[in-house]
A and B are shown apart, each in its own frame.
Chain A
Amino acid sequence: MSSTLLRTVPALRGAIRVSGATKPAAALASTSFVRGKATLPDLSYDYGALEPHISGKIMELHHKKHHQTYVTGLNGALTTIAEAESKGDFTKAASVAPLLNFHGGGHLNHSLFWENLAPASRDGGGEPDGALKKAINEDFGSFDAFRKQMNTSLAGIQGSGWAWLVKDNQSGTLGLVTRANQDPVTGQYSPLLGIDAWEHAYYLQYENRKAEYFEAIWNVINWKTVASRFEKA
Chain B
Amino acid sequence: MELHHSKHHQTYVTNLNRALESHHAAILANDIAAQIALQPVIKFNGGGHINHALFWQNLAPESDEGAKPDAAPSLVAEITKRWGSVDKFKENFSSALLGIQGSGWGWLVKEEGEGAGALRIITTQNQDPVFSGEVPIIGVDMWEHAYYLQYLNGKASYVENIWNVINWKTAEQRFLAGRADVLKGLEL
Contacts and interface: CB of A to CB of B under 8 A. Distances in A.
B80 to A, nearest CB: 30
Given A98-B101, A159-B126, A161-B102, A61 B149 contact: no
B157 interface: no
Given A180-B102, A199-B148, A65 B153 contact: yes
A71 to B, nearest CB: 14
Among the interface residues B101, B102, B148, B149, which one has the most CB atoms of the partner chain A within 10 A? B101
Interface string B139-155: 00001110011001100
B152 to A, nearest CB: 6
B94 interface: no
Contact of A102 (B101, B103, B143, B148): B101
A160 B103 contact: yes
Interface residues of A, number: 20
A182 B127 CA distance: 17
Contacts, number: 53
A61 B153 contact: yes
Given A198-B144, A200-B148, A207 B3 contact: yes
B8 interface: yes
A57 to B, nearest CB: 9
Contacts of B102: 159-161, 180-182, 198
A158 B44 contact: yes
Given A69-B153, A199-B148, A158 B3 contact: no
Interface residues of B, number: 20
B35 to A, nearest CB: 19
A199 B102 CA distance: 10
Most chain B beta-carbon contacts within 10 A, residue among A61, A65, A160, A161: A160
Contacts of A204: 148-149, 152
A208 interface: yes
A66 interface: yes
B101 A208 contact: no
Contacts of B125: 159
A5 B127 CA distance: 38
B126 to A, nearest CB: 3
Counting chain B CB atoms within 10 Å of each CB, the highest count among A98, A182, A199 belongs to: A199
A168 to B, nearest CB: 25
A161 B153 CA distance: 17
B40 interface: yes
A82 B144 CA distance: 32
B11 interface: yes
A45 interface: no
B149 A199 contact: no
Interface in B108-131: 125-127
B69 interface: no
Contacts of A200: 144, 148, 153
Interface in B32-62: 40, 44
6 contacts: A102-B101, A159-B103, A182-B102, A198-B102, A204-B149, A208-B3
Given A203-B144, A203-B148, A203-B149, 8 more contacts: A65-B152, A159-B102, A181-B101, A182-B102, A198-B144, A199-B148, A207-B3, A207-B149
* 8 closest residue pairs by CB, A with B: A159-B126, A181-B102, A199-B144, A159-B103, A160-B102, A208-B7, A65-B153, A160-B103
